[in-house]
Structure 1
């Protein structure tokens, strides 16, 4: 319940301009996190003790502490350089760490999902529709191949833009 409220607030904060982030990217990030927590980790109890869960939870936690510190100080018009630097630098390690944890967790869930037929719908049924959650999870994992590099290099570009601008300002001070 609290996670749900936090997710909605994150998207709302972007939509109304409280935080300067893309609504689309934030929505994608929030929905992927909700998916990983509820549709994978919560639903497949066997993966909850995997080290991979700890990996993505630590990466997400540190990322959110940095992100909200950045937003808070920015709203107060007093952004310490160390917070800006952390926001645009630590993702270099945290982003791959989180993605690795996410992918390893989904991978660990696959045998349990297949064995239990979790969230799968088989034919025949009155709707004449089938859904294979195991195959869906594999497609989710494959989707990381084109998406991760795009998002990662977007952040690299943002880092260059933001931190080089800061360095330029420091030269003139």
Structure 2
């Protein structure tokens, strides 16, 4: 969901952030991650998974996750300046639904949500790395 949100709700909707270096940062991180992920899936389906692909999947995230998150957060931060001026996706009272939504505040909440969520996802991948790569090393010992 974060990818759809960042591409559509932030980068597409706030034209001023499209030229930010932070967009390039998260796009590069996402691209490398997906190439590795889908290579792993493809080779796994073929029952021929090279160790370099498995190693890349469970090692490069150590750099790519923080790189992507940094790009995402910097892009959202850059958008914060332009969202209130344009009133982007904001609904103010009074209206017939008696409902209001402040996109600026929502973006701030999204940024704050990275504090508990990013470490949880990163440590999950570290645990997966330990589990998958240590199993591979043990398996190699017996061959």
Give the C-alpha shift of residue 131 in structure 1. Answer: 0.3
Residues of 1 paired with 2:88 and 2:132: CA distance? 45
Question: Paired residue for 2:112, among 142, 161, 166?
Answer: 142
Instruction: Tell which has more relative contact order, 1 or 2 (C-alpha 8 A, sep 6+).
Output: 2
CA shift, 1:117, in A, is 1.0
Give yes or no for the alignment of 1:37 onto 2:13. Answer: no
User: How big is the shift at 1:157?
Assistant: 0.1
Secondary structure, aligned partner of 2:89:
coil
Cα shift readout 1:5-48 (whole Å, capped 9, x = no counterpart): xxxxxxxxxxxxxxxxxxxxxxxxxx110010000000000000
RMSD: 0.4
What's the counterpart of residue 122 of structure 1?
92
User: Which 4+ runs in 1 deviate beyond 2 A?
Assistant: none
Measured against aligned partners, the alpha-carbon deviations of 1:78-119 in whole angstroms (never above 9, x if no partner) come to 000000000000000000000000000000000100111111
Corresponding residue to 2:17 among 47, 64, 68: 47
Equivalent-residue separation in structure 2 for 1:92 and 1:136 (angstroms): 28
Q: How far apart are the structure 1 equivalents of 2:139 and 2:97?
A: 63
